[in-house]
Every structure is written in C-alpha cells, then in structure tokens.
Amino acid sequence: MVERFPVLDLGHRPKISPAGWRLTLKGAVERPQRIDRTQLNTLPMVDITCDIHCVTRWTRLDVPWRGVRLRDVLALAGPRPEARHALLHGMDGYSANLPLELLMADDTLLAIAADGKPLGTEHGGPVRALVPSRYFWKSSKWLVAISLHADDEPGFWETRGYHNEGDPFREQRYAGSKT
C-alpha cells in the first residue's frame, strides 16, 4: 500500500496546457470529433473515489477523482455498430486497449482532477483516462485520442507481455496468466 501518489510512465512527459488540449475521437465512429476543454466542460462532472492498482504491485486506496464519464464523451462521436474495441492514446506515444463495453462503464472517466487538485503533468494532466476496474496501466495519461475498432488491437504494454484484459481482481498481470 502506498500513501503518496507514485509516478510511472515512459519518461517523456508532454506539457499540454488545458487550453491547448484536444481529444480526437476516430475510427469506427459516426461523427469523428476534436474536442476541446470548453466542450468537455459542458458535460456532467462526476466525483468518484476508487483504489488504483499498478501491475508492479503497488496499490493506492481511496483516491478521489473528478472527471467526465467517457461514455458521455463518446456519445458526441456515436460509436458505429461494428465498434467493439478501443485504444486510448497518450501524447507520449503510449496506448492501452479496452473493450468498448468498459468505456461505457459508470466509473470509467476522463479525469481532470485527483486529490482535489487539477491533474499535474506528472499524473497525465490536463486530462487522463481513469479505468478503476483494470490495472492502472490501462488508464492512459495525457489522453489525446480514442480510436474505436471492430477488432481488438493490443496497446503499448499489451504488445510487451502484459495481459490483454488486466483485471486486478483476477490478477491478470501478464500474458499467459491462466484467467
């Protein structure tokens, strides 16, 4: 268990100002979009508290987050019927894949704040993904694009030996895990 908030990434931390941030919604969507912060702010803000689990075995309990539900953002683009999978792209060249179903979950957010403060660059600010039901590697920092796909495509860690699904309660850390 950790008290402070560890920082973990590939080491290149892109500086993005809130005003300069854009999110591209592309792939299997009816209406491709480029969303800015003003549009994001028109969507309902929600507060959730959740635990985060890094695959390298640290866990931080009861982190308060604020953000917009990813499904509300996706509704602006309208997933096409064949869309089943998604990639969440970070500005550092990172990506993580998830089933579209999980992007629709109540607690899957585009987070803009944690611990009562706007997200700092080190934690993926101004906007990161937050997917509480998966290991934290699925929560892309510096989120700048979401692409929807008919077929599953592995992301950065999923092509480097991490489990495709990454459910912490099933301990799905690495590819080859039995669950």
Element containing residue 100 per DSSP (H, E): helix 100-103
User: Pairing relation of β-strands 33-36 and 22-27?
Assistant: antiparallel
Exposed/middle/buried for 38, CB within 10 Å: 0-12, 13-18, 19+? exposed
> In the bound complex, what is the minimum distance in angstroms from residue 81's beta carbon to ligand MTE?
29
- Integer Cα distance of 40 and 43 in angstroms: 6
Binding mask 46-65 for Mo ion (x = CB under 5 A): --------xx----------
> In the bound complex, what is the minimum distance in angstroms from residue 12's beta carbon to ligand MTE?
9
Positive or negative, the CA dihedral 19, 125, 99, 45 is: negative
> In the bound complex, what is the minimum distance in angstroms from residue 139's beta carbon to Mo ion?
9
- Integer Cα distance of 162 and 166 in angstroms: 8
- Binding segment for Mo ion (CB under 5 A), chosen from 1-9, 57-65, 72-80, 111-119, is 1-9
> In the bound complex, what is the minimum distance in angstroms from residue 153's beta carbon to Mo ion?
20
Size of the site for ligand MTE (CB under 6 A): 18
137 makes contact with Mo ion (CB under 5 A): yes
108 makes contact with ligand MTE (CB under 6 A): no
Binding residues (CB under 6 A) for ligand MTE: these are 5-10, 54, 90, 92, 94, 123-124, 136-137, 139-142
